[in-house]
Amino acid sequence: MYVVQLFDNYAATYSLLATGLTECFALAWVYGCDRFLSDIETMLGKRPHKIWSISWRFVAPISLFVILIFTLVHPDRTKYEDYMFPAWADGIGVCISLASILAIPGVAIYKVVSAMCFGGSSDGLQQTVQKLSKPTPDWGPRKKEHRMLVKGDHYMNSAVPTEVVTHTSQQPMMLHDYK
């Protein structure tokens, strides 16, 4: 039960707050709220209210940041019933939190370094990050009619196949037959 308490205290607090803050930043400022609202409009048939954009850009990130700061400034020692965990156990808990949090910048740094060192390009850091942030040609809706709703002709020439292979006959089925 002590190990479960340690995981509960550390794996479900700092890492979730940091991950949520990173996701809010990525959605609002990297991908873009307007683009995300357009994607939702394509899926639902109507555009969501502007309050969502305000919430994703400001309310949620500020709230998560404030909660994270208060959690870091006033940490509680881990305890279970009347037993107070030793300081080294809290150190293990911090390592548990960092293991999941450090994956986010770790993968980003790995991708940038790999692209700069082994990508065969002499671009600088900013150009490399911009290239890595752009979608690939096969990104987007799979169905041709959905691609037309989102970006028009931009998606019509992408690498995503417009045929679907069924598992029973192994014969391609055209999109107009697939409904």
Q: What is the pLDDT of residue 54?
A: 94
Distances (CA, A) of 175 to 19, 143, 144, 154: 38, 7, 7, 18
Mean pLDDT by 10 residues, the chain (179 residues): 80 86 90 86 88 94 93 80 85 87 90 87 84 78 73 46 44 46
Strand locations in 7-107 (E): 79-80, 83-84
Residue from 23, 16, 8 nearest 79 by CA: 8
Q: What is the pLDDT of residue 173?
A: 46
Q: Is 81 left (phi over 0), alpha (psi -120 to 50) or beta?
A: left
Contact 48, 40 (CB under 8 A): yes
Q: How far apart are CA 78 and CA 4, in angstroms?
A: 11
Q: What phi, psi does 99 have (nearest 5°)?
A: -60, -40
Q: What is the pLDDT of residue 151?
A: 59
Q: What is the pLDDT of residue 178?
A: 44
Residue from 122, 147, 121 nearest 135 by CA: 147
